[in-house]
Structure 1
C-alpha cells in the first residue's frame, strides 16, 4: 500500500518514470535540484509533497512541461482524483526493451520523424492483432 495522498503518489510515480527515461539516478537528480537523494526518494514515494517551485525545477531537470506530472489527474466536482485505471502496465518502464525504445523516441528531435516512427510501431502492432 502506498503512503500519502493519491495525488502525491501519482506525481511521485511520474517523477520516477521520467527520471528513469532520461537516465538519471536519484543522486544525479538530487544534485540538479540541490537536494539529498533521500528527498528525491521521498518525492518519488509520495511520502513528501513537491512544492510548486521544486516542481518547476523538476520539470526543467527532467525536460518536461509541468503538466506532465498531472496528466492522469481529473477534476470532479472540485475534487482532484487520480484516474485509477492506468492505460498501460504501471511497471512498463522496468522492461529494458521498452525503456530503450522510449529513450530512442525521445532522442528523435524532428517531431514528424518521431510521429512516423510511432505510426510504424502502431502499424506493426495492429497487424499482429489480425
Structure 2
C-alpha cells in the first residue's frame, strides 16, 4: 500500500469524532453500521483511524450523524505535526486526547446549553480550573 493511502493523524481525529458523536447519540457500532449499510467492523476501523474514510462516505456519515462535515475536522490544527504544534520532545505530534465516560457526559450536557453567553462563561471557568495546579507544599 502506498504511503499516501495509509491512515494518518487526521484519520485518527475523524475516527475519534465519529465515536464521540455515536456515543453522544447512545448508538452502538452495530446501530451506526446499519444506518450506513456497513459492517460494524468497518465502523470500528473508521473509529480507530485504521481505515481512511472517502469523501463520499464522510458526507454520508455526516448526514446519518446529523452533523456538518466540518465537525470532523474541528481542532485538527492542534493535533497535526505543524511547526509549533509538537509535543515537548519535538519529534512527534501531541497525542489525541482520550475521552472517558465522564468527559462524554460533560460534552453532551455542554452541547445542550443554548445560551451562548453561558456556554462561553462555563468554558472559561473550566479552562481556569484546569490551569490551576495543586500546591505541592
TM-score class normalised by the smaller sequence: 0.5 to 0.7
8 Å Cα contact 2:7-2:51 kept in structure 1: no
Structure 1: 5+ residue stretches without partners: 75-80
- Count, aligned residues: 116
Question: Residue 30 of structure 1: CA displacement?
Answer: 1.5
User: Do 1:21 and 1:99's aligned partners in 2 also have CA atoms closer than 8 Å?
Assistant: yes
For 1:73 and 1:39, how far apart are their aligned partners in 2?
Answer: 23
Counterpart of 2:80 in structure 1 is 82
Of Structure 1 and Structure 2, which has the larger fraction of its residues in strand?
1
1: CA distance, partners of 2:36 / 2:59: 10
Instruction: Flag structure 2 segments of 5+ consecutive residues without an equivalent.
Output: 1-5, 82-92
Larger radius of gyration: 2
Match of 1:102 in 2: 107
- Measured on the aligned residues, the alpha-carbon RMSD in Å equals 2.7
Structure 2 residue 21 is matched with structure 1 residue 18: yes
Task: Tell me how far apart the structure 2 counterparts of residues 9 and 98 of structure 1 sit (CA, whole Å).
Answer: 19
Deviates more, 1:9-18 or 1:97-106: 9-18
SS at 1:24's partner residue?
A: coil
Tell me if 1:5 matches 2:7.
yes
Instruction: Provide the secondary structure at the position in 1 that maps to 2:50.
Output: coil
1:50 Cα shift?
Answer: 1.1
Shift of 1:119: 2.9
